[in-house]
A = this chain, B = another copy of it.
Amino acid sequence: MESSTTHSDNTRHRGNRHGRSEEARQAVLEAADDLLAERGFAGVTMEGIAARAGVAKQTIYRWWPSKVDVLLEAFTEDMAEHLTPEDLGDLGADLRVHLARLADFLTESDPGAVFRALTGQAQHDPQLAARLRDDHLSHQRTRDALPLRRAIARGDLPADLDVDTALDHLVGPIHYRVLVTGAPVPREFTDDLVAAFLDRHRAGPR
């Protein structure tokens, strides 16, 4: 029954004692995303978002302290579903699939572009850096760690594995290519990362 666009509309309102306009919120987030995609980070301005979203500047300032906050929310919204590793029951397969997806996310997707922009901006803004870490990165790292934790549970990895360091070794080179060298991140590269990791850590007679 929700928002059924039939005749009278009705969810449409402007100004309301109880709660903000969801309509305006969505319009702002979309406008920010679109502007980033079309014109780059410098092209994302409060003025521009407002104009494109058909929203008053004041409405943006009421709910978001700055344009990076808008992008941050847009980003968080966008990537809820992304990048949760599957459970194939095999450590190597899990990691290979997940790292390949991560590489694809960072280099190809729209939310990946937002991530790069925000990470770039975070180099100039420690507060944003902290927020990125707290609101997003920590969750992502928890998801990234899932295959490792499952393997530990299965006995495929030693119980005392330093998971944090292991993750840095696995995803660090990917981020480095994306953020620093700009080199592509092909499947061979991610597979090789997994191979290196398995060589070193997998409990193994062989």
Contacts and interface: CB of A to CB of B under 8 A. Distances in A.
B169 A193 contact: yes
Contact of A122 (B42, B120, B171, B193): B120
Contacts of A42: 124-125
A129 B182 contact: yes
A164 B179 CA distance: 16
A116 B123 contact: yes
Contact of A123 (B120, B133, B174): B120
Copies of this chain, how many? 4
- Which label, helix, strand, loop or mixed, suits the secondary structure of the A interface? helix
Contacts of A121: 120, 123-124
Contacts of A125: 40, 42
A176 interface: yes
Interface in A135-187: 137, 141, 164-165, 168-169, 171-177, 179-183
A179 B123 contact: yes
A11 B176 CA distance: 43
